[in-house]
Structure 1
Amino acid sequence: MVRRSVFALFMVVVCAWVLRASPLAALTIGGVVRQPLNLSTEDLARFESATVRLNELTRDNRFRGVFAYRGVPLRTLLEFASVQKEESSFGKPLDLAVVVRNKEGKRTVLSWGEIFHRNPSEIVVATSAGPIVPHHTNCGECHDAKIYEPALNQLKRKVGLPKLVVANDFFTDRSLEDIVHIDVMEMKQKTEKRQMGKLFSPKFTVLDGKGRSVEVSDLSGYTRIEADKKNISDGRGYHGWRRYSGVSLRELLTKTAMGQDADTVVLASSIDGYRVLISYGELFLSPGGERIMIADGIRGRPLEEGKFALILPDDTSDDRTAKALSRIEIVSLKGKPKFYIIGMGCADTSLITLEAISYMGKADVFIAPDDIRMRFAKYMGGKPVLFDPLRMHIARMTKKGNQGLSEAELKEKMDRENEQDIQKIKDALDAGKSVALLEYGDPVVYAAWQHRFQRSFKDQIEIVPGLSAFNAANAMIGGNLACKAGSLVLTVPRALAANEDMVKAVSAGGDTMAVFIGLRELKTLVALLQRYYPETTPVQIAYKAGYSNGRHIVKTTLGGVIAAAEKENERHLGMIYIGPCLQ
């Protein structure tokens, strides 16, 4: 017996950490946090880890093996990101939801309370895993092979890492593999915080979020339960223990036919605006879910404050107790898929914003040029790319694959490919997937997507700003570019050619003019400017703005700018500035 136990322990140790997350795996954390994070596997390994065992069985009776996982408590990562609510009438984080997504777009919804008011090791982000192999594998002596072989084969499967492990759930549907993004969400439902004396509400209303409501003024007709709870809050400390009586919230929601959707949360509010959020999983998948109660009694007597209270007996803190309960709302977090247009910055990867990283985590699929896809791969989490939006432009410029086509035939081909691209986006959105187009610089300044996609998806588009070459070039030039009349004009050569009156007015007012994509048309541009500006007018060209290894400024005059530009190798990446403020 001793030898068998030693062998079993040996098998667990040998097999325990054979699977590790890929070094390229990345996990982003965003939402209502002060410090959005992008964490590699190596980053996660630097945190203090916990080890948990998970017997994996889903609600549809699928056994997925028994594994030992090692990883970082999710609470630790959220503390590192420093969760901070926006301006809100209810400042506590008790009504926050935490949504975890994997690279396939699947989601797990958690409540703030089950992460921060339970033991940290119950919910971890695992970076390594190993099967726990039973020491007795010759099950043929007592079972048919078709019974035991599928279970043993699960121990050989590849586990997608990093993995969210919710160790305390009986059914493990919320344990999610290949996670790529964690989003801390604030509820949009408004609440009015009221200062009150003694709290009391004679009833509470249950709303399903679809217009249906049920009013509850007594708990007759439900199975009575009791639970002991230690009254310890993070603010007031220990205040004894109490025995509450009432009914299970799980039973109440089931009997009122409020549904069981994994993407929903329960938002409970007191009469004074105090709010508490409970996830579907902790209510219906965790063994402790049946103990979450609507209490109407304490130690055999009616409650002293309010007729009803929400009680979570297994929380390590009393902060999620909602006295004088007045409202229970079922809130769906599904939302509609979005088409994000994300500004990635104009050059170096260091110029990407934290908001852009956060929104990349929300996307299920990407549209990205090959250059952006390679440089920002660590933020994309291995999620699929629908197409390269620049491929048609590059093919047109290089004639690659278009030899022998007339201009009309080439336009017809590009229009056809554009329609195919639009259909790919529509198919993804129709499948419930959010799409992110990764755009250079500021996505609303002279961006090609506006001509290609805005009309088809205008109601689904959400724009995430980025740092433009204009911003980077301004920093290179320095000084006050609006020193005269206080204006700074941003334009392109074709706009100037179509509106010479504007050129004349800008010149007369002494404003600074910044010209995008003007190097290729420099001679034509200079000829136009010379009609309204003296030859001695200062001109500066900011080459490769934002590129730390190639950026530089050429200072010259309108009369000498063509000769100065011809000495440079760069023929495309340059912002052209003209005006007296450049002195």
Structure 2
Amino acid sequence: MKFRHNICIPVVFLALVCLAVGCTQAKLPADTKLFLVGMGPGDPDLITVRALDVIKGADVIVCFEKSRDKYASVIGSKTTITAPHGFWHNYGKKISDIKDCKAAEQEKAIAPKRDAFIKEVRSLVAEGKVVAVLDSGDPMVYGPWAWILEELEDLNPSVVPGLSCFNAANAAMKKSPTISASTKSVILSANDWKGKKDTIDKLAKVGASMALFTMRAEFDYFIEKLKAGYPLDTPVAIVMHAGYKDKEKVITGTLGDISGKIKDRPFEYMIYIGDFITYKQKGRQ
């Protein structure tokens, strides 16, 4: 199965990238041919210099189609492999052990494509090619490509850290979730997953600040779960399009009234809850 494509972009964008990272060939570790690269959230200018260096030194780029379009000015004319989103779903599970019928059928469909992808990456590395797998945000925080570090462990993969949307959302709020009157901790979580015991309602009872990666989950579902542990007057912030200068938006309220303040919700948003949202250090007792 072939996933490869070629992309051509205006020379002006490539020139800008060269100015950013230097026009000489990037020097990558000789013993590493496979990289998992964090590309940061939001606008492309949040990509790190190290990430740009790895991309420049790579022979082949692996990414989702959306990422290929978003980072076209960075990828340039390099050969790319575009992969479907579902490779990480049920990775490592036998189809016979998947209880959900729909999930089992999805795994039957995706498994051959995943196997073909793995085979192609191994073949490229065997040929001496440097392969860079691009992931938005921080690839080690709910990243859909983290599974390759286990599957291709023998290829000695290297991870290039990237800014998370958590970092970008903190900046958008101009608040630190680790600083408040009564807490110093922040819990990172996502939608409740089957088989996992750290459900949102249980985490809410800890009382720490919380940052939720929504990832298409129902907004009202999160809010109802949070009510199991937080008072209704607890401050809440919704950060939309974190890291995008032209689209970034922060809406604040309380657990009791935030639902009425949110109308259209994009895919990219985070939910924060905790006293840190309204906390002022100056004048504290």
TM range (shorter): 0.7 to 0.9
Tell me whether 347-356 or 480-489 shows the greater mean CA deviation.
Answer: 480-489
Partner letter of residue 238 of structure 2? I
Partner letter of residue 523 of structure 1? D
Q: Which residue of 2 aligns with 1:461?
A: 157
Secondary structure of the 2:133 match is strand
Residue 183 (structure 1) aligned to one of 10, 21, 26: 26
CA distance in 2 between counterparts of 1:478 and 1:418 reads: 41
1:548 Cα deviation after fit: 1.5
**Residue 24 (structure 1) aligned with residue 7 (structure 2):** no
Secondary structure of the 1:526 match is helix
**Residue 369 (structure 1) aligned with residue 64 (structure 2):** yes
1:569 Cα deviation after fit: 4.2
Partner letter of residue 377 of structure 1? A
Partner letter of residue 559 of structure 1? G
Q: Would the alpha carbon gap of residues 27 and 530 (structure 1) be closer, same or farther in structure 2, given more than 3 Å must change? A: closer
Q: Would the alpha carbon gap of residues 575 and 361 (structure 1) be closer, same or farther in structure 2, given more than 3 Å must change? A: same
**Residue 574 (structure 1) aligned with residue 269 (structure 2):** yes
Larger helix proportion of the pair? 2
Deviation readout 1:328-359 (Å, 9 max, x if unpaired): xxxxx9x3342101111111111111111011
> Is the Cα–Cα contact under 8 Å of residues 34 and 131 in structure 2 kept in the other structure?
yes
Q: Which residue of 1 aligns with 2:241?
A: 544
Q: Which residue of 1 aligns with 2:283?
A: none
Partner letter of residue 268 of structure 2? L
1:380 Cα deviation after fit: 2.2
Secondary structure of the 2:11 match is coil
> Is the Cα–Cα contact under 8 Å of residues 87 and 110 in structure 2 kept in the other structure?
yes
Partner letter of residue 237 of structure 2? Q
Residue 136 (structure 2) aligned to one of 440, 459, 463: 440
Secondary structure of the 1:463 match is strand
> Is the Cα–Cα contact under 8 Å of residues 32 and 157 in structure 2 kept in the other structure?
no
Gaps of 5+ in 1: 1-21, 29-36, 44-76, 82-179, 186-332, 394-404
CA distance in 2 between counterparts of 1:454 and 1:569 reads: 33
CA distance in 2 between counterparts of 1:546 and 1:461 reads: 28
CA distance in 1 between counterparts of 2:79 and 2:116 reads: 17
> Is the Cα–Cα contact under 8 Å of residues 64 and 84 in structure 2 kept in the other structure?
yes
Q: Would the alpha carbon gap of residues 385 and 184 (structure 1) be closer, same or farther in structure 2, given more than 3 Å must change? A: closer
> Is the Cα–Cα contact under 8 Å of residues 181 and 361 in structure 1 kept in the other structure?
no
Q: Would the alpha carbon gap of residues 370 and 353 (structure 1) be closer, same or farther in structure 2, given more than 3 Å must change? A: same
Residue 491 (structure 1) aligned to one of 171, 174, 189: 189
- For 1:139-158, list aligned pairs within 5 A: none
CA distance in 2 between counterparts of 1:407 and 1:443 reads: 24
TM-score (norm 2): 0.78
User: Which protein, 1 or 2, shows the higher relative CO under an 8 Å CA cutoff with sep ≥ 6?
Assistant: 2
Residue 340 (structure 1) aligned to one of 25, 35, 38: 35
Deviation readout 1:474-495 (Å, 9 max, x if unpaired): 0111133222321122111226
How many equivalent pairs are there? Answer: 252
Secondary structure of the 1:182 match is coil
CA distance in 2 between counterparts of 1:433 and 1:386 reads: 13
Q: Which residue of 1 aligns with 2:125?
A: 429
**Residue 517 (structure 1) aligned with residue 214 (structure 2):** yes
> Is the Cα–Cα contact under 8 Å of residues 369 and 388 in structure 1 kept in the other structure?
yes
Gaps of 5+ in 2: 1-8, 89-100, 279-285
1:386 Cα deviation after fit: 2.1
- For 1:300-449, list aligned pairs within 5 A: 335-390=30-85, 408-449=104-145
Residue 251 (structure 2) aligned to one of 547, 554, 557: 554
Q: Would the alpha carbon gap of residues 361 and 26 (structure 1) be closer, same or farther in structure 2, given more than 3 Å must change? A: farther
1:391 Cα deviation after fit: 7.2
CA distance in 2 between counterparts of 1:495 and 1:503 reads: 16
Secondary structure of the 1:568 match is coil
Q: Would the alpha carbon gap of residues 480 and 379 (structure 1) be closer, same or farther in structure 2, given more than 3 Å must change? A: closer
CA distance in 1 between counterparts of 2:55 and 2:124 reads: 16
Sequence identity percentage: 29
1:23 Cα deviation after fit: 4.9
Partner letter of residue 512 of structure 1? S
CA distance in 2 between counterparts of 1:23 and 1:38 reads: 12
Q: Which residue of 2 aligns with 1:105?
A: none
CA distance in 2 between counterparts of 1:427 and 1:492 reads: 35
CA distance in 2 between counterparts of 1:522 and 1:548 reads: 24
CA-based RMSD of the aligned residues comes to 3.0
Larger strand proportion of the pair? 1
Residue 532 (structure 1) aligned to one of 229, 243, 247: 229
Q: Would the alpha carbon gap of residues 25 and 456 (structure 1) be closer, same or farther in structure 2, given more than 3 Å must change? A: farther
CA distance in 2 between counterparts of 1:519 and 1:27 reads: 34
CA distance in 2 between counterparts of 1:26 and 1:539 reads: 40
Q: Would the alpha carbon gap of residues 338 and 534 (structure 1) be closer, same or farther in structure 2, given more than 3 Å must change? A: same
